[in-house]
């Protein structure tokens, strides 16, 4: 019973550690040592609009605003690129884990044959039995599975109810990956699909299909909301030279990877619409309205900066909880090891 419980605890430990490893990477993506995080870049942009509302004709203020806007768009793109990199690394790691699982299943099948031959000759193959115990322990750290002993002493293994090892041999598991929609399944040689859970592989697939993509979705939601809300106000205003309705951000860029400042503004900072009236150069009403967005709950019922702070702190918060659970699991495993040593004499 202790062996079964130990395998369960070690499997859970591998699952928790697998998630923690990826969340550590995500935390490094979202939080910088310099403090130049997404929320600060958003605040700088809105501060720039506030300054423009007080000094709508000041060219240096306009250029500073554009600089802040470009820094923000680059921050969005940098985070997006790094999130995709973490996703790719997690995918690659999961594929390697599957290769390891396939290798272990083949080794267990070979050990089964030796053990069954020994049983048939009434000469137990203790060396193979010990090796199989070790391989089952190794497998339990990679994926959740069910095992059953047959009459000849061989072990049969199922993952999520799908047979992957029986008396005929081990099935090779192949990954099926949809990189666009971030879906990841296993397919056995029998044609049946497996959605594995538990262990290192379960953690990697959960992070790939859910956690990383969830953070990416939130980042895109924030970028899209900023483009829409700022453009909606900016289009109502006028630049210094005309009353042409212009967007502040290029409306074709509506996610973190594509957000960019309108090229017409970069070519001529006078095109930034600070005024609510044509020919009113000293009017900064529109810039003030955009600056006031800092106090509006525009993204999922939250302010821009509050949403950004929640987003960048999510990996660290998850990591803190995981580390507490890892410490608890480690204590339980050490206690079980002590019990096993006492029982062994």
What's the pLDDT at 345?
62
- 116 to each of 112, 124, 127, 149, 287, how far by Cα in Å? 6, 9, 13, 11, 80
Q: Taking a C-beta distance cutoff of 8 angstroms, is the pair 237, 277 a contact? A: no
Dihedral sign for Cα 7, 11, 14, 16, please.
negative
* Tokens 């502040």 sit on residue: 248
Ramachandran angles phi, psi of 40, nearest 5°: -65, -40
Contact assessment for residue 119 and residue 153, using Cβ atoms and an 8 Å cutoff = yes
Distance from CA of residue 291 to its chain's centroid?
A: 32
- Name the pTM for this structure: 0.91
Number of H helices, E strands in the chain: 9, 7
Helix (H) or strand (E) holding 13: helix 2-30
User: Is residue 297 a contact partner of residue 303, using CB atoms and an 8 Å limit?
Assistant: yes
Q: Which residues contact 322 (CB under 8 A, 6 or more apart)?
A: 16, 19, 20, 23
Q: What is the pLDDT at residue 279?
A: 73
Q: What is the CA radius of gyration of the chain?
A: 29
Looking at residue 2, its pLDDT comes to 61
Phi-psi region of 273 (alpha: psi -120 to 50; beta: other; left: phi over 0): beta
- Structural tokens at position 43: 């605040």
DSSP class of 272 = S
| Mean pLDDT per 10-residue segment, the chain (345 residues) | 75 95 97 90 98 96 98 98 98 98 98 90 89 94 92 93 94 94 92 92 97 98 98 96 92 97 98 88 92 97 97 97 95 87 74
Cβ proximity of 43 and 304 under 8 Å = no
What does the pLDDT read at residue 82?
A: 98
Q: What is the pLDDT of residue 208?
A: 97
- Kindly compute the dihedral angle of the four CA atoms of residues 88, 36, 304, 234, in this order, to the nearest 10 degrees: -100
CA 202, chain centre distance (Å): 14
How crowded is residue 36: how many other Cβ atoms within 10 Å of its Cβ? 11
Task: Pull the structure tokens for residue 88.
Answer: 């790719």
Buried-state track 118-135, b at ≥16 Cβ within 10 A, e below 16: beeeeeebeebeebbeeb
Q: Which residues of 225-238 are buried (b: 16+ CB within 10 A; e: fewer)?
A: bbbebbbebbeebb
């Amino acid at each position: 019973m202790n062996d079964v419980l130990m395998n369960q605890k070690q499997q859970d430990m591998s699952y928790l550690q697998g998630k923690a490893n990826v969340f550590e990477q995500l935390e490094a993506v979202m939080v910088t040592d310099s403090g130049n995080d997404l929320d600060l870049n958003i605040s700088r942009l809105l501060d720039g609009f506030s300054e423009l509302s007080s000094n709508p004709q000041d060219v240096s203020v306009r250029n500073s605003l554009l600089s802040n806007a470009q820094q923000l768009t680059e921050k969005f793109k940098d985070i997006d690129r790094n999130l995709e990199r973490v996703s790719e690394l997690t995918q690659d790691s999961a594929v390697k884990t599957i290769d390891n699982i396939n290798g272990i299943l083949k080794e267990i099948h070979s050990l089964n044959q030796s053990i069954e031959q020994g049983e048939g000759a009434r000469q137990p193959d203790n060396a193979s039995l010990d090796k199989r115990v070790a391989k089952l322990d190794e497998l339990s750290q990679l994926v959740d599975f069910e095992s059953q002993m047959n009459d000849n002493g061989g072990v049969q293994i199922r993952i999520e109810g799908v047979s992957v090892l029986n008396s005929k041999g081990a099935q090779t598991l192949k990954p099926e990956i949809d990189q666009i929609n971030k879906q990841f399944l296993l397919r056995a040689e029998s044609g049946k699909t497996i959605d594995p859970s538990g262990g290192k592989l379960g953690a990697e697939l959960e992070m790939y299909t859910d956690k990383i993509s969830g953070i990416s979705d939130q980042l895109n939601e924030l970028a899209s909301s900023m483009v829409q809300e700022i453009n909606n106000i900016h289009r109502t205003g006028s630049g210094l030279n005309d009353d042409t309705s212009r967007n502040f951000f290029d409306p074709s860029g509506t996610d973190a990877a594509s957000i960019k400042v309108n090229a017409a503004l970069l070519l001529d900072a006078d095109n930034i619409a600070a005024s609510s009236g044509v020919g009113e150069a000293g009017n900064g009403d529109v810039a003030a309205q955009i600056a006031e967005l800092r106090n509006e709950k525009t993204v999922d019922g939250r302010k821009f900066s509050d949403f950004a702070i929640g987003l960048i702190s999510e990996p660290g918060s998850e990591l803190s909880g995981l580390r507490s659970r890892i410490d608890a699991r480690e204590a339980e495993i050490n206690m079980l090891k002590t019990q096993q040593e006492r029982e062994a004499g």
